[in-house]
Amino acid sequence: MIQLTRRTILTGAAAATTIAAVRQPAHAAAPPTGKQAPGFYRYKLGEYEITVVTDGVNRFKLPDNFVTNVKREDVNAALAAAYLEPDMMAVPYSPIVVNTGSRLIVIDTGTGEANFAQSKGAAGQFQANLAAAGIDAKAVDTVIISHYHGDHVNGLLRADNTLAFPNAEILVPAVEHKFWMDDGEMSRAPAGRMEGLFKNNRRVFSGEVVKRLKTYDAGKEIAPGITAIATYGHTPGHSSHVIASGERKLYVQADVTNVPFLFARNPGWHLVFDQDAKMAEETRRKVYDMVAAEKMLIQGFHYPFPAVGHIEKDGNGYRVISVPWNPVI
Amino acid sequence: MIQLTRRTILTGAAAATTIAAVRQPAHAAAPPTGKQAPGFYRYKLGEYEITVVTDGVNRFKLPDNFVTNVKREDVNAALAAAYLEPDMMAVPYSPIVVNTGSRLIVIDTGTGEANFAQSKGAAGQFQANLAAAGIDAKAVDTVIISHYHGDHVNGLLRADNTLAFPNAEILVPAVEHKFWMDDGEMSRAPAGRMEGLFKNNRRVFSGEVVKRLKTYDAGKEIAPGITAIATYGHTPGHSSHVIASGERKLYVQADVTNVPFLFARNPGWHLVFDQDAKMAEETRRKVYDMVAAEKMLIQGFHYPFPAVGHIEKDGNGYRVISVPWNPVI
C-alpha cells in the first residue's frame, strides 16, 4: 500500500500530467509580502516577563581567522553539520528586556539604530522590534551592559546620537569600563580592530551616557533578582547575568560563546574577537558545565532568535536544546 | 581573575547589599504585556514564499496510552531529555501557506476557529495569525489537506460554519476521502474516538466544502511544484507533500511523526492516533532515512513553531536541527 520510494519523491515534481496544469487560479496572484514577522518572543520566568528582541543578523564572508585555532575546512565542516552554507557567517544579536513587575530592564543594546541603514536592514532592528513588542524605550529604567563591543553598546544611542533609553540608568561592569577608559591601555592597543574599539567606546561613553553611568561589580545583585557574574576572557570585564524569579533561574550568557553551532559544539575553538582566548575558553567550559549540570535555562546573545534553551553535553562539546516556541505566554 | 564558581552563581542572587536596593525606578512600573508575538514565520524556497502560521499548542495531561508500545516512564524520560515537564504533553499545530507567485496555497488548516474559545486561546489561532501575517483568507486559491484528523480539517470552517477559504478549491487525498466516506468502514468503527472521527468528517465534508472538493492521487503534481506523496499508516490515505522551486525542495511531512522529541527521536514508538501503527512506523523510517540522506528541508505539522529544519540520524532515531530564525527574508 505504501507507494513511497525515493524515486517517486524526487521525480514526482516533474510528472507530466497534472491536475494543476488545467486549472486557473481563482484570483489574481497575491503578491509575496517579503516581510518577516516582528522579531520578538515572550516568556515568563517565575514572576518576571522576559521579551527577547532581535536586533537582526549580520551576514559576511567567513574570514580566514574567524576561528583562530582551527582550519577553515574545520569551520566549514561545522557549518555543514548545522546545515548552513560554507564560507559564510550569520551572527544574530538578541538583546532581552526584563519586566520585573516594578522595573523595566534592558540587557545589552544591539548594533545601534544607525546600523539599520548601513546593514540594509539586516541588523540595527532593536528599536523597531522593541516598538513592535509594545515596549516604550522611554519607560526603560535600567540598561545593563555585559561588555564593550559595538554590538552590545552601540544601541545606547539612536541614529541621531541621542539617548536610546532617555530615562534609564546605565549599569556597566566596573572592570570593563576601567579597561576601555584607561589611556595607557589605549596607547598600547594594536592599530586596527582594537584601536577602533577604544575609539568607539570613547564615542559611546561620553556626554549623556556617562551622566547616567553606574559601574557594577561581579557577584553582586545589580537589579532586583539580577546578579552579575564575572565571565572574563572575551573582554577583560565581560560579565554574564543570572536572573532569578520564584523557583526559576535564567543564565544570560552574553558572549561566553558566539554562535553556538561553532563555539558551544567546540568549546576549545577560539573566536577572533576573544581578547584573552585561553581565559575565554576556560570560562566557556566552566559556564557550560555548570549550566548543563544545573539544567538552567540559558539565553545567548548570539544564539539564533529567540535564543533561549538548555545545554546538554555532547561528545567533547555542548548542544543547545531550544525551548519550544509557546504561541501564548 | 575569573571569579566564576558555582557558589557565586547560585548564591549571588541572595547577596545582602545591592546597588538596586537603594535606587528607585525612574518610572511607574510598565505593566507586563502578557501577549506573545504574532505567530507566523516566513522564508523563501527558491522562488516561492512560505509562511508558517501557527494554530497554537494544545496542552494536556499525558494519557497512559499516548505512546502505545512503551511505558509512561520511558515517555517521561524522553520529555526530560527535551527539558520538558513530565506527565504533560504540548502538541503544536503548524499549517503553512505557499505563495508560488501565481497561486496562494494553504496546506492543512488547524483545529478550527471554534476551538479558540474552547481551548481558551491556546489553539484555533490559525485565522487570527493569518490576518497578522497579512494574508487574506479570501485570496487563497487552493487548500490541500493531508489527512482527515480534526486538527488538519476543522479549520476548513469558521466558527459560524461558513467556509474559512471561500474562494479556494479543496484538494484531498482520494484514498483518505474514500475511507472516511465509506459507510461500511463507518459501521465497523469502534465506538469512541474512531466513531467520533467519522462523524466529524461527515460534518466537515458536507455542503459548501464538498462542492469545492477535488481528490488527488499520490505521486502526482497537484499544484504548481507540489507533489503528493503516499505516507500511509497514520491514516489510510495520509499524504505528505514535496514542494519544489528552483533548486530547493521542502518535505512537508504532515503527521509522519507527531512531536519530534518523542517520535523522531524514537521512530519505533507508536502514537495512539496512528491508525495502522506498524505501517506508520515503516513510513516514518523510510521518510526520515530519505530526508536525512538527501539533506532536504522538512516542515513538520507538529514540530514546535516555526517547525522547519533538517533531519540527522542520531543513535537509533533522528534529531531535528531547526533552521536558524532569519529576521529578514
Cell of A211: 551622566
Amino acid in the structure at residue B271: L
Parallel/antiparallel/unpaired status of strands B48-53 and B40-45: antiparallel
Q: How far is B67 from chain A (nearest CA, A)?
A: 20
CB contact under 8 A, B2 and A133: no
CB contact under 8 A, B2 and A323: no
CB contact under 8 A, B103 and A25: yes
Q: How far is A264 from chain B (nearest CA, A)?
A: 15
Q: How far apart are CA A251 and CA B195, in angstroms?
A: 49
CB contact under 8 A, A2 and B282: yes
Q: Which sequence spans correspond to the domains of chain B? A: 38-322
Secondary structure in 3-state letters for chain A: CCCCCHHHHHHHHHCCCCCHHHCCCCCCCCCCCCCCCCCEEEEEECCEEEEEECCEEEEEECCCCCECCCCHHHHHHHHHHCCCCCCEEEEEECCEEEECCCCEEEECCCCCCHHHHHCCCCECCHHHHHHHCCCCHHHCCEEECCCCCHHHHHHHECCCCCECCCCCEEEEEHHHHHHHHCHHHHHHCCCCHHHHHHHHHHHHCCHHHHHCEEEECCCCEEECCEEEEECCCCCCCCEEEEEEECCEEEEECCCCCCCHHHHCCCCCCCECCCCCHHHHHHHHHHHHHHHHHHCCEEECCCCCCCCEEEEEEECCEEEEEECCCCCCC
Helix (H) / strand (E) element for B217: namely none
User: Which residue blocks in B182-298 are alpha helix, DSSP H?
Assistant: 183-188, 193-204, 207-211, 260-263, 277-294
Q: How far apart are CA B289 and CA B294, in angstroms?
A: 9
CB contact under 8 A, B36 and A102: no
- In a 3-state reduction of DSSP, which class is residue B107? strand
Nearest CA in chain A to B82: A321
- Fold category of B38-322 in CATH: Metallo-beta-lactamase; Chain A (3.60.15)
Question: One digit per residue, pLDDT tens: chain B, 329 residues?
Answer: 334 444 444 333 333 333 443 344 455 578 888 899 999 999 999 999 999 999 999 999 999 999 999 999 999 999 999 999 999 999 999 999 999 999 999 999 999 999 999 999 999 999 999 999 999 999 999 999 999 999 999 999 999 999 999 999 999 999 999 999 999 999 999 999 999 999 999 999 999 999 999 999 999 999 999 999 999 999 999 999 999 999 999 999 999 999 999 999 999 999 999 999 999 999 999 999 999 999 999 999 999 999 999 999 999 999 999 999 999 99
CB contact under 8 A, B286 and A216: no
Name the residue facing B229 among A8, A57, A321 (closest C-beta).
A8
Cα A292-A319-A82 angle, rounded to 5 deg = 170
Q: What percentage of residues in chain A have a pLDDT greater than 70?
A: 91
Reported as a single tens digit per residue, the pLDDT across A230-272 is 999 999 999 999 999 999 999 999 999 999 999 999 999 999 9
Write down the residue that cell numbers 561589580 correspond to.
A217
A271, A67 Cβ separation under 8 angstroms: yes
The span from the first CA to the last CA of chain B, in angstroms, equals 43
Q: What is the pLDDT of residue A173?
A: 98
Q: What's the mean pLDDT in A304-322?
A: 97
A273, A234 Cβ separation under 8 angstroms: yes
Name the residue facing A232 among B1, B41, B224 (closest C-beta).
B1
Query: Which residues in chain B touch residue A305, judged by CB atoms under 8 angstroms apart?
Result: 324-325, 327
pTM of the model: 0.92
Helix (H) / strand (E) element for B318: namely strand B317-322
CA A121 to chain centre: 17
Name the residue facing A225 among B13, B104, B283 (closest C-beta).
B13
Report domain A44-322's class.
alpha beta
CB contact under 8 A, A216 and B19: yes
